[in-house]
A and B are shown apart, each in its own frame.
Chain A
Amino acid sequence: AQSVTQLGSHVSVSEGALVLLRCNYSSSVPPYLFWYVQYPNQGLQLLLKYTSAATLVKGINGFEAEFKKSETSFHLTKPSAHMSDAAEYFCAVTATGNQFYFGTGTSLTVIP
């Protein structure tokens, strides 16, 4: 069985500050992990994905995430927050490619 837990349903950062969104996974088999972003009233847009290649994954808009097997984590980071980063972020895991298991999401607020 697979699942993800996103710690912190709401995160606020100042513009220009570090963004850290946490995701911990549970999987009985090697997982494939994804981060998606959702802007209001829109669908999900893929930010980045981990597919067992490099453990540090770089995505769009300056985001990156590091797969840490020992910590079962896949936290999302960005060195400097921009106002346009304000959105809902979802971590997801799959072991079959059929079903994606999503976390409950983290709402990011960027304070000017």
Chain B
Amino acid sequence: NAGVMQNPRHLVRRRGQEARLRCSPMKGHSHVYWYRQLPEEGLKFMVYLQKENIIDESGMPKERFSAEFPKEGPSILRIQQVVRGDSAAYFCASSPWQGLEETQYFGPGTRLLVL
């Protein structure tokens, strides 16, 4: 059973470009979470999605960031017009259902560097 897959693992963008980060949850998991880890900091929650629905985006910046989890295919975190402050590691996690006792399983992350 493959774990959570993220690609690319490393992404370099120039200021003003767009970054697309992909996350394929574990087989059988329909809940996806995105987190951002800035250097020397812990992970910060960004958004929680189920198939075709955004459930909680309270941690998402209001501008330039968007996320989707279509019926088919991976979840996508999209950052438009990237700035240097967007440089971070972005982690995706998945779970089979949402519940207090349910563990979130994390992918290896995408490390975004904005030049």
On A, residues with C-beta under 8 Å from B are 32, 34, 36, 41-46, 49, 51, 90, 92, 94-105
Contact = CB atoms under 8 A, between A and B. Distances in A.
A109 B56 CA distance: 37
13 contacts: A43-B108, A44-B93, A51-B100, A95-B100, A97-B98, A98-B98, A99-B45, A100-B45, A102-B35, A103-B42, A104-B40, A105-B41, A105-B42
Contacts of B4: 43
B115 interface: no
Nearest to A105: B42
A102 B40 contact: no
A34 B106 CA distance: 13
Nearest to B55: A98
Contacts of A100: 33, 35, 43, 45, 93, 104
B91 A102 contact: no
Nearest to A39: B108
Interface residues of B, number: 30
B25 interface: no
Contact of A42 (B99, B104, B105, B108): B108
A103 B102 CA distance: 19
Given A42-B108, A43-B109, A46-B105, A97 B100 contact: yes
B100 A32 contact: yes
B59 interface: yes
Contacts of B106: 36, 43-45
Contacts of B101: 32, 51, 97
Nearest to B98: A97
Interface string B38-51: 00111111001000
Interface in B68-112: 91, 93, 98-109, 111
